[in-house]
A and B are shown apart, each in its own frame.
Chain A
Amino acid sequence: MTHGDWRAGLSGWLLAAPAVGAAVVFVWAPMLASIGFSFFDWSLLRRQGTWRGLDHYLATLSNPEFHLAAGNTLIYLLALLPMQVGVPLLLAFLLLRLRLERAAAAYRLLLFVPAVLSFPVAAVIWLWMFNPVFGVLNALFGALGLPPQRWLSDPDLAIWSVIAVAFWKSFGLNLLIFHAALLTIPHEVVEAARVDGAYSLKLALTIELPLISPALFFAVVTTVIIVLDEIVGAVDVLTEGGPFRMSTNLLYYLYERGFRFFQFGEAAAVAVLISCLVALVTWAQFRFGERHVHYR
């Protein structure tokens, strides 16, 4: 190894070291610690944990509140997935068929606006619209001759209200991704199909849709991450998981176990369970993405 190589190697490490160090200290170490915590009883007062083996996992998995949270998470997921993929996909296809590109760009710009807001801001805006007495939604319902709703305090309705807010706040991202992906399809491919007489719907389903499948999968992953993670900002502001735990989800359950009741061991176990789900989906996306990148 020459002197120059050695110097280049050293400076490489010096430039990379802060990021590597931060990744280890703030991500990898806490991750391992979380897994460790989940086998102990832990609190801020008693620094020494007692070994509990799989107790926290077993307690979590047999807790009816956890079942409720898991079931609700599934409802959030099953409701949001088709909405978050279907609606933006339809809008993206239609945007592509607008001949006035300026207008298409403007529509996309406007439809993306809610996506830059945060979940709590979106939730507060809707909290006011959902207000049963003064809210604009019930006023609109009244104007249409429909009965007023208790959007957030009706146990059957609350979760759907949160779902509506989550959809409003995040569909723009998928629209953006789908539209960007559709625009990368070479012009000739679409034209060739059109010359062959493919009509609009057939074109969309047989040519365009398969070509943007990585974007579709990406949209599925973002939706899963929203449901397992970001939506907590909306849940906390809108319903605090209520009424009667009917709009809670897994992360909100973790938040309550860990940071309202300070059961750190149990919260860590829930975190490990949630993370396994997220990691599984993310890993699948990477695998899927890898396989499709070559065709671009």
Chain B
Amino acid sequence: MSTIAERGVGLGVADAAAVPPAAALSGRRRAPRQLALHLAFLGVCGATLFPLLWMLRTALAPADEVFSPHLRPWPDNPTLGNFAAAFRLHPVDAWLANSLIVAAGITAGKLALAIPAGFAFGVLRFPGRDLGFALVVGTMVVPYVITLVPTYVAVVQLGLYDTLAGVVIPSIGHCGFVVFFLRQAYRALPAELFEAARIDGAGSLRQLLTIAVPNVSGAIAAMSVLSFLSAWNLYLWPHLLLEASESKTISIGLKLFATTGEQGGEWGPLMATAMLAALPVLVLYAVAQRQLVSAFATSGIR
């Protein structure tokens, strides 16, 4: 993403430095248009973020205000009561913990496979390398839908139905993009880096751990964030596998929450739970914005 920043700076400098009189005139004429653009973008951003604001407002509103017909964007008497109610109604704490375990497990598993494999495919030379690489990266073209039924049957027969291990283990296999991304990062490193180590007698594993990994830490961070995010957001697979209420992840817990209880019931607590489901992802986005954006922009997200 540094290219964006660079180009941004470049544009600013060029505009300020060498502006011929005619352009300066058109620049002055451009000012109202720029203002209109900003107003339009503020409007679009407002509309885009409104549902999140409304979720927040409902989560913090006492029951009488949740169901009041007034369109106030903020509750008069904000309260955390809905959060307490949510934890009373459903095992929301277990859902959050399960989501954390699933997301962390899948992320760790994918990285454990992809960090060495990306290095082997990108830096080392060995017979069958291209075949191995094709087998791993080719999985990116395989829609996970086609793996659902047999994986489900296998997981059930192994006694892993309704367990987090059943959710995590098969998902780790879908690491083609992470391997591909890390391989690109390793390949961008100068070959002399490894030549020198090889002359010093460092084996492949030591080259990987002492030279390669520290030099691609940015790419590893990007893939960690991306994997965590997509695992936290997983829906169909855990939905098929996790049956008992306490063993659900937050995404599918939300569905259970939304469809149980009387109609027109627990909207405040439900929005509080939705907020808890969204919060880790939003925080991750705020903190690791750079890595995420670069990973998303280069990728096919999957």
Contacts and interface: CB of A to CB of B under 8 A. Distances in A.
A202 B296 CA distance: 29
A58 interface: no
Contact of B296 (A11, A25, A177): A177
B114 A19 contact: yes
Task: Indicate the size class of the contact surface on chain A.
Answer: 35 or more
B174 to A, nearest CB: 6
Interface in A106-139: 107, 109-114, 116-122, 124-129, 131, 133-134, 136, 139
Interface stretch (A61-69, A75-83, A203-211, A273-281): A273-281
A254 B270 contact: no
Given A28-B139, A101-B8, A94 B71 contact: no
B254 to A, nearest CB: 5
A194 to B, nearest CB: 10
B21 interface: no
B71 A127 contact: no
A78 B141 CA distance: 23
Interface in B10-36: 10-12, 14-15, 30, 34
Given A177-B297, A258-B148, A26 B143 contact: no
Nearest to B71: A139
Interface in A162-187: 168, 172-173, 176-177, 180, 183-184, 187
Contacts of B14: 187
B132 A20 contact: yes
Given A103-B38, A125-B274, A183-B3, A120 B296 contact: no
Given A13-B126, A30-B146, A232-B235, A180 B297 contact: yes
Contacts of A140: 71
A157 interface: no
A251 B145 CA distance: 8
B129 A16 contact: yes
Given A11-B124, A184-B3, A218 B300 contact: yes
The DSSP consensus for interface residues of chain A is helix
Contact of A26 (B40, B173, B293): B173
A254 B150 CA distance: 13
B51 A125 contact: yes
B71 A136 contact: yes
A31 B142 contact: yes
Given A28-B142, A187-B14, 9 more contacts: A19-B114, A19-B117, A27-B139, A28-B139, A30-B147, A105-B8, A118-B281, A124-B274, A255-B240
24 contacts: A7-B203, A16-B132, A20-B135, A23-B136, A26-B171, A33-B149, A34-B146, A34-B147, A35-B146, A98-B38, A100-B34, A100-B38, A110-B45, A110-B48, A116-B281, A121-B251, A128-B58, A176-B296, A180-B1, A183-B7, A232-B235, A236-B255, A254-B145, A258-B152
Pairs of residues from A and B, 3 with the lowest C-beta to C-beta distance, nearest first = A26-B173, A12-B126, A118-B233
